[in-house]
Structure 1
Amino acid sequence: MAALLEPGMMVRHPQCPDWGLGQVQSSIGNRVTVNFEHAGKVVIDLSQTELTPDFAPQNPH
């Protein structure tokens, strides 16, 4: 999964839906840094958690 996540991609954390939409900042090995709307920057270990890509078009305010 880590190979599929690239900086700029939008993702969601399935176990933490209240974090909102997140943008991948970096991906190194199994560790991905994501900036979430309501949780800020979080480092995720993809061997423990699988993120869900969100391909919905973004609605600019």
Structure 2
Amino acid sequence: MEIPQRLDGKVALVTGASRGIGLGIAHRLVAEGAKVAITARKPGGLAQAVKTFPRVRC
């Protein structure tokens, strides 16, 4: 799927982002230039998801 414009300067919150579709969406938003915050119910899964991003700022 192609996003018609870059998301530079935009902020997104992705819930359920520790795995699956949520994690995939978060990665795509980052690739398109958005600043992304992710959440999940399980802290362990969230910690693993954070490791999959190239740059993390907490």
TM-score (norm 1): 0.24
Larger relative contact order (CA 8 Å, sep ≥ 6): 2
TM-score (norm 2): 0.25
Q: As a proportion of its length, which structure holds more strand?
A: 1
Q: As a proportion of its length, which structure holds more helix?
A: 2
